């Protein structure tokens, strides 16, 4: 019986028009705020996932300059061992030593890059390290 009495009191109560207007307008505003907040959380999560996938994609493409330098070092060393340095202009005398130093520097940069990435990227390159 207590609930019926409370409901009867509320229905008989005289609320000012201003209070009724605030109550009617407050509900949609609160719903919109809740919906907007959930959308912000969803978009932030999507952005976080996109950044993680972009980092993974960048790591998967591999160390382009490092691999190119390795090929250059191999070619320069082969030309040096064959004694054909004078025959090939792009591989001047002593250039294989320069390429070896460039490969060492690129390797260190690549290792630093991998160390700064997440565990998934480090796992991918672990066998090569």
Nearest Cα residue to 99 out of 71, 58, 64: 71
Residues 128 and 79 in one domain: yes
Residues 3 and 51 in one domain: yes
- Looking at every residue in the chain, the average pLDDT score rounds to 80
Of residues 3 and 79, the one with the higher pLDDT is 79
Give the pLDDT confidence score for residue 31 in this predicted structure: 93
Average pLDDT over residues 57-61: 72
- Give the residue ranges of DSSP H helices in 2-127: 2-12, 17-60, 64-82, 95-115, 119-125
- CB-based burial, 4-34: b 16+ in 10 Å, e otherwise: eeeeeeeeeeeeeeeeeeeeeeeeeeeeeee
Residues 42 and 74 in one domain: no
Decide: 114 and 122 in contact? Cβ < 8 Å: yes
Dihedral sign computed on CA atoms, order 109, 113, 115, 121: negative
95-115 and 64-82 helices, crossing angle to 10°:
160
Residues 51 and 104 in one domain: no
Structural domains in the chain (count): 2
Average pLDDT over residues 5-28: 77
Residues 36 and 82 in one domain: no
This model's pTM is above 0.75: no
Residues 39 and 67 in one domain: no
- Tokens standing for residue 47: 């952005």
Domain extent, residue 74, equals 62-129
Q: Which of 60, 91, 106 is the C-terminal boundary of a domain?
A: 60
Average pLDDT over residues 28-41: 94
């Amino acid at each position: 019986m207590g609930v019926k009495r409370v409901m009867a009191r509320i229905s008989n109560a005289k609320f000012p028009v201003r209070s009724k207007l605030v109550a009617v307008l407050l509900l949609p505003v609160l719903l919109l705020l809740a919906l907007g907040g959930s959308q912000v959380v969803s978009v932030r999560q999507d952005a976080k996932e996109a950044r993680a996938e972009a980092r993974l994609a960048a790591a998967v493409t591999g160390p382009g300059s490092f691999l190119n330098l390795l090929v250059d070092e191999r070619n320069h060393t082969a030309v040096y061992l064959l004694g054909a340095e004078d025959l090939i202009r792009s591989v001047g005398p002593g250039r294989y030593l320069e390429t070896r130093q460039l490969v060492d520097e690129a390797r260190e940069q690549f290792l630093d890059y991998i160390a700064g990435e997440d565990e998934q990227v480090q796992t991918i390159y672990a066998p090569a390290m």
